[in-house]
Amino acid sequence: MGKTMNYGLIRLNTRTKLIAGALALVMAGLSHASGTQVGGGATLPSIGYVGSNAATNLQVWDGTGSTATIATGSLFGQYIATTGNPNVSYCLTGSGAGKNILAGATVNGVTFNVQNACTKNSSGTVTGFGAGLTGVNRSDLVQPNFAAADSPLNASDYLNYQNARPSDVEYPVQFPAVAGAVAIAFNLKDNTGATVTSSEANFSDAQLCQILSHQVTTWDQVSSAFTLPAGHSIPANPINVQYRSDGSGTTFSLSNHLATVCGTINSHVFETNQAFTSVVANFVNPVPSNWTGSSGNASVANAVSSTANSIGYVETANALATNPGLQFADVNSTSPTANFGSPLTIAGTAIVYNEVINTTNNTNGTAALEAISSISGVTNPPTTSCIALVKPALYAKPNVPGGIVPTGTYPIVAISYLLGNTDDNGTDLTNTQNLLAFPYTVTQSNVTTIGAGTGLAFLNLGTNAFTTSQIKGCLVN
């Protein structure tokens, strides 16, 4: 449509503004009648967004006939309660699929669309947000109202979005929403047959680097990570690694940490990526036979829980809900639950606009950023401040100058984003604006699913960061 936008707002003359203002009042009145806000994506913040039903349901929505309702104390539960009761549906697809569904793209022969069912296909991929499900009743939608991702847009994601919408000038909207801890889960018995517990396990960064680079292959080689009673020891059993097989923001966040803290191991580095096999390709290619991939956080948590001598990385809040008996190790003497939950502050210096993750990393494996305008194949790159990205280096480990993770904080951190569409929001506009801005307008104490003990944390806006008006201004009809 070739709109000139300031934070997404069309530039209008005075007379047109008066007319638009009148229409906006009408549209605001209609917006609540427009029905359920449909979205999905990342599983890491899902417990915080919709509550405990995300642990056992792929799709959680609030409405008549739903057996997977949104919890009152969740972020979206509070959104529903405080913004006029627009219902919400959230489908746990994982970050990669969520971004593809937002785009409405066909990727590697697989078509993603908001109307596709929120179910796993034969390869374990969810290709839709289930907009037409009975009770959700949004068969009218041609694009999602929102999506969520723990891995920010990369160059391929942006091209997928652009190429799926060739007849119009449209852009994705992206702003950070919450932070989450990526926990190291394990299933291990000592030489007496006793279960090794969370309180007995404390991995250093160096030990995690050794395990995931396949330099260490049996548990006794990292026995110093455990503090056991007298007479108990760690057997020399193989380390069975459980990982995410789908495109995952959790994998991106783990690899962001590994690439930063591990350095060079035998002339190789970890690669920052949302695909685990790409993260470790420099060390293990193909992956060892006792390393097993599973689609979705719950599946990885279940794999660790059901497989002896296992270790894996999981989204803390979701894994706590799906597997309450799962053991989580401390990392660098800090806990993903007891030591994580206080809000993290994002200053303007931590944010860049209209940049994405490059397809090629820096030489040390850390994520490289690329201006959208420089990506080959991009036409009409955005010039507004509506695609915000928190520099991955600034949450890769604690105590980075200018970073958002304070000294002594649990070190493996994910930043989860809410995404939307600049254009074609129609009668959903007001509700969608409110939803994307809600993490920064909600009274935090009312949201019991985010905070201390959950593995999730709110983000506070620091000096010269974006504003909620900026977020809302990026979304138009």
366-383 pLDDT tens trace: 999 999 999 999 999 999
Provide the residue range defining the domain that includes 435.
5-178+422-473
For the residues of 92-136, what is the DSSP string, one character each? ---HHHHHHHHHT-EETTEE--TTS-SSB-TTS-B----TTSTTT
pLDDT at residue 8 in the model: 38
Q: Is residue 415 part of a domain?
A: no
* Residue 275 near residue 293 (C-beta atoms within 8 A): no
pLDDT 10s digits, 7-59 = 433 333 333 333 333 333 333 333 334 589 999 999 999 999 999 999 889 99
300 in a structural domain: no
Structure tokens at 223: 């026995």
Q: Which residue type occupies 358?
A: N
Contact 47, 438 (CB under 8 A): no
Residue 222 within any structural domain of the chain: no
What span, in angstroms and rounded, lies between the C-alpha atoms of 102 and 160?
A: 10
Give the torsion sign (CA, 27, 32, 36, 42).
positive
DSSP-assigned letters across all residues of 193-259: SPBP-GGGBEE-HHHHHHHHTTS--BGGGGGGGB---TT------B-EEEEE-S--HHHHHHHHHHH
Rounded CA gap, 219 and 225, in Å?
10
Note the pLDDT of residue 34: 57
For residue 390, what is the enclosing H or E element? strand 388-390
Report if residue 258 sits inside a domain: no
Measured between alpha carbons, how far is 416 from 166 in angstroms, rounded to an integer?
A: 28
Burial of 324 (0-12, 13-18, 19+ CB in 10 A): exposed
Comparing CA positions, the residue from 76, 144, 58 lying closest to residue 426 is 144
Would residue 386 count as lying in a domain? no
Rounded Cα distance, 186 and 199, in Å? 12
Do residues 137 and 115 touch, judged by C-beta distance below 8 A?
Answer: no
Q: Give ∠ CA 385-92-440 in degrees, rounded to 5.
A: 40
Q: Which residues contact 270 (CB under 8 A, 6 or more apart)?
A: 209, 212, 213, 255, 258, 259, 262, 279, 280, 282, 283, 365
**Is 98 domain-assigned?**
yes
Q: How many structural domains is the chain composed of?
A: 1
pLDDT value, residue 132: 96
Residue 65 belongs to a domain: yes
Report the distance separating Cα 184 and Cα 339, nearest Å: 14
> 256-309, pLDDT tens digit by residue?
999 999 999 999 999 999 999 999 999 999 999 999 999 988 899 999 999 999
Alpha carbon of 217 to those of 186, 209, 214, 311: distances in Å? 15, 12, 6, 12
Structural domain includes residue 161: yes
Round to whole Å and give the CA distance between 302 and 62: 27
pLDDT at 64: 62
Per-10-residue mean pLDDT, the chain, length 477: 37 36 37 74 95 93 80 95 90 95 96 97 94 94 97 96 85 97 98 98 98 98 98 98 93 97 97 97 96 92 97 93 92 96 96 97 98 96 97 97 96 98 94 97 97 96 97 94
